[in-house]
Amino acid sequence: MNKARIREVAKVLEKEEEIDSIVINYILKILSKTELRSLVNYLKIQASENKVYLKASIEDKEIIKEVERIFKGKEIIFEKDQALGGGIIVKYKDDVIDLSLSGYINQLTSTLKENI
């Protein structure tokens, strides 16, 4: 099975809430180890395309609403993390936007270490 087909299979599978065991057994039978690895990678990519991870020290409904507005149609998964101190971290696919207080302090600390 070529990579384009595997990508299509991943897209279809990702949409399902639950995958039938017959389908899984069939896929395991027909795909080689390398192809399976590719399928898993594409499934991960597909899953990440539809989800946005939001971390904040407090659960602020307005911030969550704003993030939902920016990432229309994506599922927002919220996680509370007091270590952030303030602000938020947004993760979408591979990109991480760090607007947290702890991130800013880390940035300043490394700048100071590099220059002094």
Partner 1 sequence: MKTDELIKEIENILSKAGTEPGLTNTGTASFVGDGIVKATGLSRAGFGEEVEFEDGTRGLVFNLDESYASIILLSDINKVKEGTEIKTTGKILSVKVSEDLIGRVIDPLENPLDGRDLKIKGDLYPFEKLAPSVTVRQPVDTPLKTGIKAIDSVIPIGRGQRELIIGDRNTGKTAIAIDAIINQKKKDLGLKQVICIYCAIGQKRANVARTIGKLQEEGAMDYTIVVSASASDSAALQFLAPFAATSIGEYFMDQGRDVLIVYDDLSKHAWAYRQISLVLKRPAGREAYPGDIFYLHSKLLERSARLSDENGGGSITSLPIIETQAGDVSAYIPTNVISITDGQIYLETDLFNAGIRPAINVGLSVSRVGGAAQTKGMKQVAGPLRLELAQFRELAAFAQFGTDLDEQTQRRIERGKRVTEVLKQPQYRPLDEVSEVIIIYSATSGIIDDLPIDKIRIFEEKIMDFISAKNKKLIEKISGGAKIDDKTLSELKKEIETFKKTII
Interface residues with partner 1 (CB under 8 A)? 3, 38, 41-42, 44, 91, 93-99, 103-104, 107-108, 111-112, 115-116
Q: How far is the CB of 115 from partner 1 (least distance, A)?
A: 5
> CB-based contacts of 71: which residues, under 8 Å, 6+ apart?
52, 92
Neighbours of 89 (CB within 10 A): 18
Q: How far is the CB of 99 from partner 1 (least distance, A)?
A: 5
**82/101 Cα distance (integer angstroms):** 11
CA distances 114 to 78, 99, 106, 110, 111, Å, are 34, 22, 12, 6, 5
Output 68 or 98, the one with its CB closest to partner 1. 98
Q: How far is the CB of 88 from partner 1 (least distance, A)?
A: 10
Q: How far is the CB of 20 from partner 1 (least distance, A)?
A: 26
**Beta strands at 51-56 and 87-92: parallel, antiparallel or unpaired:** antiparallel
Output 25 or 106, the one with its CB closest to partner 1. 106
Output 34 or 82, the one with its CB closest to partner 1. 34
